[in-house]
Amino acid sequence: MTVTSEAPIRNTPVDVRFTKAGTPLAVRYDERIWAVTEEPVHWFTRDSWWETRRSVPVGVGNVVDIEHWRVQVRVGGSDSPLRTFELRREPLTEQWLLEYITDI
C-alpha cells in the first residue's frame, strides 16, 4: 500500500456511523460519505497518560485505551477506487480522527 496524493494531515476529524454490532458502516470525510466495503480491522493501543496529562481524576473512566479501526471504503454507491482509512479515537472523547488514507 502507498500513501495517496490525497492523504490528509494527521488527525483530521471525521464522522463515523456504526452498525448495531459496533463496527464501522460509513465514514463522512471531505464532504462525502465513504461506505465500508470489507470486514474492518479493530485494535487498541495504550496512551502514556502520565506524559500527556498532569492528573487524572478518580472515576473518570478509561484514560489509556486508544481505539483504532482500519476500514476499506469507497464513495457510497459508486465504483470509485477502493481506499483504506485508518481511524483513531483518543480516550475520553467521542471524536474520531482520520490518521491516513492509502490506496489498495
Cell of 48: 502514556
Q: pLDDT grade, residue 13 (50/70/90)?
A: very high
Whether the Cβ atoms of residue 26 and residue 17 lie closer than 8 Å to each other: yes
Q: What are the sequence ranges of the domains in the chain?
A: 12-103
Lowest-confidence segment of 5-19, 36-50, 84-98 by average pLDDT: 5-19
The better pLDDT of the pair 56, 40 is held by 40
pLDDT tens for 16-35 read 999 999 999 999 999 999 99
Q: pLDDT grade, residue 77 (50/70/90)?
A: confident
Three-state SS for 28-75 is EECCEEEEECCCCEEEEEECCHHHHCCCCCCCCCCCCEEEEEEEEEEE
